[in-house]
Amino acid sequence: MAEAAPVVTAALLVIGDEILSGRTKDKNIGTIADYCTALGIDLSEVRVVPDVEDEIVAALNAMRVRYDYVFTTGGIGPTHDDITADAVAKAFGVGISHDERAVAMLRERFPNPADLNEARLRMARIPHGAGLIENPISKAPGFTIGNVYVMAGVPSIMQAMFDAVAPTLKTGVKMLSVSLDTGGLPEGAYGTPLAAVQKAHPGVIIGSYPSFDGQRFRNQIVLRARDAAVLEQARAAVAAMLETLASPNPAAPPATS
């Protein structure tokens, strides 16, 4: 029997006071989740931490030993509150200084020496031993050290950086997904039998997701698994459950919630 492909896991550490204050609305979580799903990587955790070195170090050290990959976004710009690079260096116990490779990249954007000032050179400070992540948009690179990938917070730049690193990542078996509309049945009507279906199919992740269009609720049941046959068995069980519940039953009062 062929050995099952290993599950590849990842976590995302979002860094920035502006995210926690609500001033900046994060767009990177969904994008990275989409990337990971497409690559067959399970994005298993997301944390948001402020621009506080000890908080970043603690979160990073907890996550990097638990998951195959840790992606970080934010905090690698030119201002005083951009402390991610220093925090990563501290987490790994290595030094940090201006990296000549990164300086050369910045010179491409700022050929006039007067423009490559002290603040901009902060973006060339890289932990010792780290590799660089190309940034075709603004040239200031991200970097990778160990299993940690440090990327910009600006969504377009983060996406360009992820495009650069994606081919280097190991991938697992992609998660398959199927959705079933409940045909107007409310969650309260199928909650108990759906739990029974889940118990009978432990290899499938089953979730119920309501949405509201301004006038009425619509519910979908989403099933996810890596094995197509296992997924189909669970889908058939959910479909049969919904069909049974939708059948007329004069003895039962109509469901209201």
Full set of structural domains in the chain with CATH? 8-168 (3.40.980.10), 176-246 (3.30.70.600)
Say what the pLDDT of residue 212 is: 76
Per-residue pLDDT of the chain (257 residues; tens, 9 = 90+): 445 567 899 999 999 999 999 999 999 999 999 999 989 999 999 999 999 999 999 999 999 999 999 999 999 999 999 999 999 999 999 999 999 999 999 999 999 989 999 999 999 999 999 999 999 999 999 999 999 999 999 999 999 999 999 999 998 888 899 999 998 888 999 999 999 999 999 999 999 998 877 777 789 999 999 899 999 999 999 999 999 998 876 455 555 44
Please state, in angstroms and rounded to a whole number, the distance separating the CA atoms of residues 68 and 44.
10
Please state, in angstroms and rounded to a whole number, the distance separating the CA atoms of residues 49 and 75.
11
Judge whether 208 and 216 are in contact, CB under 8 Å: no
Q: What are phi and psi of 185, to 5 degrees?
A: -70, 130
Say what the pLDDT of residue 5 is: 62
131, with CB counted inside 10 A (0-12, 13-18, 19+), is middle
Model pTM score: 0.83
Say what the pLDDT of residue 4 is: 56
Cα separations (Å) of 83 from 5, 12, 53, 135?
Answer: 38, 17, 7, 19
Strand partners, 177: 224
Judge whether 193 and 241 are in contact, CB under 8 Å: yes
